[in-house]
Amino acid sequence: MDRDEPLLKVSGVTLQYKTTSHIVTATYRVGFEMLKSDRFVLLGPSGCGKSTLQKAVGGYITPTEGEMRLKGKLITKPGPDRMMVFQEFDQLLPWKTVQQNVAFALEAAKKMPKREAADRAGHYVEMVGLSKFSNSYPHMLSGGMKQRVAIARGMAMEPDILLMDEPFAALDALTRRKMQDELLSLWDKTRFTVMFVTHSIAEAIKIGNRILLLSPHPGRVQAELNSATTPEDVAHLERQIHEMLFSEAAPEAAHA
Amino acid sequence: MRNQLSVVSNSQMTNSFRPEIRNAQSLEEIRVVEKPRSLFDKLYGEDVVRKAFILIALAFVWEAYGRWLNNDLLFPTFGATITAFAKGVANGVLPGRAWGSIRVLLMGYAAGVILAAMLTGLAIASRIGRDFLETMTSMFNPLPAIALLPLALIWFGLGNGSLVFVLVHSVTWAIALNTHAGFLSVSKTLKMVGRNYGLGGPAFIMKILIPAAFPSILTGLKIGWAFAWRTLIAAELVFGVSSGSGGLGWFIFENKNMLDIPNVFAGLLTVILIGLVVENLIFRIIEQRTINRWGVHS
């Protein structure tokens, strides 16, 4: 693939879902491109459709308008080339051990032989530092450890994109910081492509190299920014995003 | 305050100033005190011991009352019952009758499980299948299986066929109802994970839904077993399965007619024992190997 050819191309995507009484538009004509090894962050306040947008990339929701192409192929249904890491702790199969959880994904989705799947699972479990717990069942693990297993499972599949939906939101602040650092060091090792959903500006700047800022009700692209690394730039960018989010939010809040 | 420390002169240090404390307690100072629990305390903590104690106490009360009443026709003593039970086991009558009951029960239970699996499979696959299952369970679940026995006797005659028919009825709805409820309560996240793996159709049901709903399925299997066991004994009281070699229910009925009451009690004891073994041994082991190990409970 050409280096500048986008890995994921989302163009003019409108997403709607039905409640019992209404049809709600979650995002309106959103478009962006992701390159290989991007750490692409979807950032916005609650109700901006960022999670819905990611679920659509995951193949769980079909857009009513526009299209999404992964490596030029239209996304129509869920598949192991886009592994999801959810916010919920119950995303691991409780009847399988840590090792089996990772290996089962490989066997079920990639039709990998048992031996090979076990080897690769062991490698990725070690990578997230859980070798000691590889024979434990999920209910014996802490929240942070469960999320690590989910990340190991996602990475072991070596998907085109790893889709992470606020994976650290349910963790305590200390664990969250540690997990962010770990995710970045894992990225340094394998340079996987990740789409990361968050509502925390600080987390977006820390995790991402590119940030898509969405405005709420319905979600539209407000800005697409490069992230910052030096402390001054980070502070500046954070202030900038803050202003963009709240100058928009203030009049809307008055309507509501 | 710590920054001000240098500014504050010694004389100004009032009791509002507190020095910082770091690593005040070294590890050696903390003695881990371990004290063994007393024998009584340990025994009392064991489920089995407490329950065995209750059983022994009940046996004593039974024996005492039986002796006081001194009427073997109304209420034989515990000793007489155990003697009758031992004799029944020794001469092979009781095990034979018990096996007769269990064999029919297993046939009915297996057929009921298969039927329930097919119904819930349909219910997952389509909306109309779900409506069908819900309508059928709400209609037939409240209907005691034994009430169908007269009808079964007309359709299938005196024999195993009738018994299996009522057993299937008693088992199917309980299992189907619980399994279906279990499937419906599988978390949305787990279903999304399954679809993320590219699983669909039967593979999705076998590898995601059934294990995820296993606590409910196991509850259904247990309830189904209890219903079936009761229904079978009750049905056997009405008629012997096949001439000469009926089940436990028939054994009880026969001995009552011959006024051999200790044998009636021995028969009842066998019914209770089999129930206990299945509940506390077979299902308990399954529970320990699955839902307890996985940390999931319905």
B122 burial class (0-12, 13-18, 19+ CB within 10 angstroms)?
A: middle
A192 in a domain, yes or no?
no
d(CA B222, CA B278): 9
Give the pLDDT band of residue A254 (cuts 50, 70, 90).
very low
A191 in a domain, yes or no?
no
Task: Parse chain B into domains and list their residue ranges.
Answer: 92-294
Supply the pLDDT for residue B62.
93
d(CA A142, CA A137): 11
Three-state secondary structure along A131-148? HHHCCCCHHHCCHHHHHH
CA distances from A156 to A122, A130, A186 (A): 9, 14, 12
Question: CB-based contacts of B63: which residues, under 8 Å, 6+ apart?
Answer: B77, B78, B79
Which of A17, A91, A142 is most worth mutating to test chain B (most B CB atoms within 10 A of its CB)? A91
Query: Quick one: A53 and A177 in the same domain?
Result: yes
Supply the pLDDT for residue B33.
64
Give the pLDDT band of residue B15 (cuts 50, 70, 90).
low
Quote the tokens at residue B273.
């024992």
- Contact residues on chain B for A137, CB-CB shorter than 8 A: 293-295
Residue indicated by tokens 């999304």: B192
Q: What is the mean pLDDT of chain A?
A: 85
A244 in a domain, yes or no?
yes
Supply the pLDDT for residue B28.
65
d(CA A193, CA A119): 23
Supply the pLDDT for residue B245.
59
User: Are B196 and A140 an interchain contact pair (Cβ–Cβ within 8 Å)?
Assistant: no
A11 in a domain, yes or no?
yes
- Which domain, by its residues, includes A174? 1-78+162-185+197-256
Residue type, B28: E
Top mean pLDDT of A17-26, A47-56, B28-37, B177-186 is at: B177-186
CATH code at position A247? 3.40.50.300
Which of B197, B216, B293 is most worth mutating to test chain A (most A CB atoms within 10 A of its CB)? B197
d(CA A199, CA A46): 7
**CB neighbours of residue B239 within 10 Å:** 17
Query: Quick one: A154 and A226 in the same domain?
Result: no
Supply the pLDDT for residue B2.
46
Supply the pLDDT for residue A30.
86
pLDDT tens figures, A215-253: 888 888 888 888 877 888 888 888 888 888 777 555 544
Query: Quick one: A137 and A105 in the same domain?
Result: yes
User: Are B196 and A80 an interchain contact pair (Cβ–Cβ within 8 Å)?
Assistant: yes
ipTM surpasses 0.90? no
pLDDT exceeding 90 applies to what percent of chain B? 43
User: Are A93 and B203 an interchain contact pair (Cβ–Cβ within 8 Å)?
Assistant: no
Query: Quick one: A89 and A48 in the same domain?
Result: no
Supply the pLDDT for residue B4.
46
A37 in a domain, yes or no?
yes
Supply the pLDDT for residue B27.
62
Interface of B with A in 154-213 (CB under 8 A): 187, 189-190, 192-193, 195-199, 203, 207-208, 211-212
Does this model's pTM top 0.90? My answer is no
Give the CATH number of domain B92-294. 1.10.3720.10
**CB neighbours of residue B151 within 10 Å:** 12
Average pLDDT over residues A174-184: 86
Number of domains making up chain A? 2
